[in-house]
Amino acid sequence: MEQTKRQPRKLGWRFVLLAVVLAVLIGGVVRSLWLDVYFIPSASMEPLFRDGDRILVSRTDYQAEPVRRGDIVVFDGRGSFAPLNSGRGPVPDTLAGLGHWLGLAGGEDTYVKRVIGLPGDHVLCCDAGGRLTVNGQQVAEPYLYGGDNPSDLKFSVIVPAGRLWLMGDHRSMSADSRSLLGAPGGGMVPLDRVIGRPVQIIWPLDRFTAVPRPSAAAAPTMNKNGQ
């Protein structure tokens, strides 16, 4: 008697759908706990980050060890930097692009800057020598964009408790804490708005490199003689 062959069930599309759903769920967990991907659409952090770079951001680094001077932070600017967008659309320093496309991260209120002043610090620019100072000590800034001054805008601020004074490395192109001195909050960003630390440039491939965190010993504060 001739046996009939069972036709394989056509479940290929179901497996593909399940794989996609699992990938999205796993990606969501990873993003919420450990890592985000962001797109840099401006020159405000040159030469470290260039317009078009994609960066990987760790959400856990600053949980393990507190933010210190010289650190790079990605942060939520609502309530502090967000006024820079008022009536003008997204500020050039906004992180967007690839993060939105992948559904990972980013938005008009997300920014990347360098920590210059910690809570309680007196940040001044510029002193008689044309240098930025923190608590009366000159700051070495090897990360500055070539040809830029520490700041063309003079200021003297005391950073309130629980807040940070942040500036871009390409000072002449950066809208940062200096731009909001007269606004509510004075451009000081709450510590609890820090999202994480950039740890890797992942695109373009010819710029694929780790982003080292300055060591505590290499914090940018110098002595009063600038040595």
Catalytic residues, by residue number, are 44, 113
- Using omega within 30 degrees of 0 as the cis cutoff, is the peptide bond preceding 198 cis? no
CA distance 218 to 43: 25
Contact 92, 170 (CB under 8 A): no
- CA dihedral angle for residue 66, residue 72, residue 76, residue 79, rounded to 10 degrees: 90
E strands in 44-84: 54-58, 72-76
Residue 5, burial from CB neighbour count under 10 angstroms (0-12, 13-18, 19+): exposed
